[in-house]
Amino acid sequence: MSIDIKYKPALPQTKQPIIIIGAGGIVADAHLPAYKIAGFEVHGIVNRTKERAQKLADTFGIPNVYNSLAEAVADAPENTVYDLTIMPAQYIEALNQLPDGSAVLIQKPMGDDFAQANEILELCRAKKLKAAINFQLRFAPFVSAARYLIGQGLIGELYDMEVRVTIKTPWEIFPHVIIHPRLEIQYHSIHYVDLIRSFLGNPQSVLAKTLKHPAKKLSSSRSTILFDYGDTLHAVINTNHDHDFGPDHQESYIKWEGTKGAIVAKIGLLMDYPHGVPDVFEYCLVEDGKSPVWQTVKLEGSWFPEAFIGTMANLMLFSEGSTDVLHTSVEDVIQTMAVVESAYQSSDFGGVKVKDKE
């Protein structure tokens, strides 16, 4: 059966210039390439080290490089959208400088812990900001395609969702992240926590363990997170960033199973990161009396950079009034941060002690 899968994001109808705050690698590798593909106008960029901002401006044709955020705000045109790409510890300072009522896309995570997330939420409420968090995996082509198939009821009732990542991650290319005391869940698996919530809603509870590697100084590099959605719906995240034994047995996928079919999406980006390999999107629909047959669909784009179109486009659509749903709003993502916090508490306090033999 051939299905016309709708997975590309809707784009705004109005001109909304972007001012980028920060000039790190993610801006060069994902934000700016995505905005170029989508045809979004980048009005300006500001960074504490101006030379980095100037280099990106020269490469991507950005007309304005500012000396400070205050200067950027003073020169901002009408309908500006601010793209905040700095580290979480700097969010509050930057958000305080934005005009009340502004549209702002904030890099994930929403703070370094749940307390900071709540501080960010309260500030966004006080300033009436149209604020979204850049959980762009929700808008990756393979995720949007899966969401379409599930939304059409084609795989029936969803009863199982799994994310499995068994790879070698070069943490050293993220010098500001590698030192974080909550590395794996807070900066990687948080994507999957948010993704599972976007499909299944908020869990009743979580059971988790995040672990170190015995020969590395990282705070954590492997995690298992099990979500409680009752006695039918199973959802689990398993990550291992230490599989440095060649590509043969590395894995990176999201799997959805339903009563009438299943979907598997290979996340190619994470294999041989940052170079990546092609994504693979497959689905299987069960028909009475027929053996299951898997279909492979070639989708345009990937997590980097195309998914970054989706988060910015949704914010722009919300800001112009074309939609009343801001998918990754701070009001929604605070629940992702709550689940992450619960996962760390579960990891710290452990499971049920095994009883001694009576």
Task: Give the pLDDT of the chain (358 residues) as one tens digit per residue.
Answer: 679 999 999 999 999 999 999 999 999 999 999 999 999 999 999 999 999 999 999 999 999 999 999 999 999 999 999 999 999 999 999 999 999 999 999 999 999 999 999 999 999 999 999 999 999 999 999 999 999 999 999 999 999 999 999 999 999 999 989 999 999 999 999 999 999 999 999 999 999 999 999 999 999 999 999 999 999 999 999 999 999 999 999 999 999 999 999 999 999 999 999 999 999 999 999 988 888 999 999 999 999 999 999 999 999 999 999 999 999 999 999 999 999 999 999 999 988 888 887 7
- For the chain, list the strands marked E by DSSP: 18-21, 42-46, 64-66, 81-84, 103-106, 130-133, 158-166, 205-211, 222-228, 234-240, 251-258, 261-266, 280-285, 294-297
Helices (H), 104-203: 114-126, 141-151, 183-184, 190-200
Write down the pTM of the prediction: 0.96
Nearest to 342 by CA among 230, 209, 214: 209
The DSSP code for 101 is T
Taken in order of first residue, the domains within the chain and their CATH numbers are 18-135+307-325 (3.40.50.720), 138-297 (3.30.360.10)
